[in-house]
């Protein structure tokens, strides 16, 4: 029996950067507030909490004064930065550079097109922090499309600029984009009614698709390690599951069940972009321990 850890698994660059910014400040001062969970991974969050990271929500943030607060990789709407100035809060901005670029693009498109009837459409999960940050660039006037039913909110006779939450699947984005295009072709009053579709899904997530498919096929059983709330984790797990039905999603080494490995020769351990490398190692070690005690 062989256990392999997926060499492509682990944090994406955005999450790595936010964590190292947090670690730097924690090493310096021993305490740091973070607006929301820094990663959708409980174990990594516990590690950082033990170093002095304190997670706060929006209500806490509004009441805070003269403090230092980390903005996580998902980013924040402009209002957060305004509150920080007002309340003398020093922000350590861990917003992923890819998300910052997207926020700027959306803001530009909003300024250029909204007055003339243009609609900004964001394909993403309603109330996901990244989507709230993106929608904030449009003064919260963007139309959020989470599923096909939400397309009814769009006026297809008017221009549309479409963007995606970075962790959405490329295929799902293309599907939504095609549906909007088709509706616009049918309903547009003028041939010049513009549709601008920007595929802003992150290559560090979508680029993992093929590697994960290969990894899923190379192993008899795949253990996928991800946080319960990680949308990236659930998206990547679906890919694994579509290639290998013998795949299990766990958030900690303790959730591993011995009987899963009956008859398996090749065991693969992989994870979400928010899963730390040390946790993948712990899961692999726990599997080994379970098997050895068989
Ligand atoms: S998934 Fe991509 S966009 Fe999102 S934080 Fe990671 S690197 Fe940045």
Mean pLDDT by 10 residues, the chain (294 residues): 92 92 98 92 90 97 98 97 98 98 98 92 96 98 97 94 93 96 81 86 84 95 90 88 96 93 94 89 94 75
- 99: CA distance to ligand 1 center in Å? 7
| 130 catalytic per annotation | yes
Q: For residues 78 and 133, state if they share a domain.
A: no
Give the pLDDT score at 1: 86
Q: For residues 54 and 102, state if they share a domain.
A: no
CATH number, domain at 144?
3.40.1010.20
Give the pLDDT score at 51: 97
Residue 285 belongs to domain spanning:
2-10+205-292
- 74: CA distance to ligand 1 center in Å? 8
Question: Among residues 25, 115, 130, 187, which one is catalytic?
Answer: 130
Task: Find out whether the beta carbon of 202 lies less than 6 Å from any atom of ligand 1.
Answer: yes
- 101: CA distance to ligand 1 center in Å? 11
Among 201, 222, 247, residue at a domain's last position: 201
Distances (CA, A) of 32 to 19, 112, 167: 12, 38, 27
Residue 184, Ramachandran bin (φ over 0: left; ψ between -120 and 50: alpha; else beta): alpha
Q: For residues 19 and 58, state if they share a domain.
A: yes
pTM: 0.84
> Quick one: CA torsion of 164, 144, 76, 45, rounded to 10 degrees?
-80
CATH number, domain at 49?
3.40.50.11270
Distance CA 232, CA 248 (A): 16
Give the pLDDT score at 192: 63
Give me the number of domains the chain comprises.
Answer: 3
Residue 255, Ramachandran bin (φ over 0: left; ψ between -120 and 50: alpha; else beta): alpha
């Amino acid at each position: 029996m062989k256990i392999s850890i997926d060499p492509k698994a682990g944090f994406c660059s955005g999450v790595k950067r936010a964590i190292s910014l947090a670690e730097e400040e924690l090493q310096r001062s021993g305490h740091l507030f973070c607006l929301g969970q820094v990663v959708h991974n409980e174990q990594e969050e516990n590690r950082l909490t033990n170093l002095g990271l304190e997670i706060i929500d929006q209500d806490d943030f509004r009441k805070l004064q003269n403090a230092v607060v980390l903005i996580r990789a998902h980013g924040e709407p402009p209002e957060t930065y305004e509150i920080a100035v007002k309340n003398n809060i020093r922000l350590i901005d861990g917003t992923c550079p890819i998300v910052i670029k997207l926020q700027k693009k959306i803001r530009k498109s909003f300024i250029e097109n909204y007055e003339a009837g243009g609609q900004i459409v964001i394909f993403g999960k309603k109330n996901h922090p990244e989507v709230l940050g993106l929608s904030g660039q449009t003064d919260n006037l963007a139309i959020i499309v989470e599923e096909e039913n939400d397309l009814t909110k769009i006026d297809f006779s008017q221009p549309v600029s479409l963007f995606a939450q970075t962790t959405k699947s490329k295929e799902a984005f293309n599907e939504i984009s095609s549906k909007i295009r088709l509706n616009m072709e049918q309903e547009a009053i003028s041939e010049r009614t513009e549709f601008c579709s920007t595929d802003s899904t992150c290559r560090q997530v979508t680029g993992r698709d093929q590697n994960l498919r290969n990894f899923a096929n190379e192993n008899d059983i795949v253990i996928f390690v991800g946080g319960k709330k990680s949308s990236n984790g659930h998206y990547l797990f679906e890919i694994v599951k579509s290639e290998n039905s013998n795949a299990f999603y766990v958030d900690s080494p303790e959730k591993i069940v011995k009987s899963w490995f009956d008859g398996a020769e090749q065991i693969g351990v992989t994870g979400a972009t928010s899963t730390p490398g040390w946790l993948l190692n712990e899961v692999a070690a726990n599997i080994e321990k379970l098997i050895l005690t068989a």
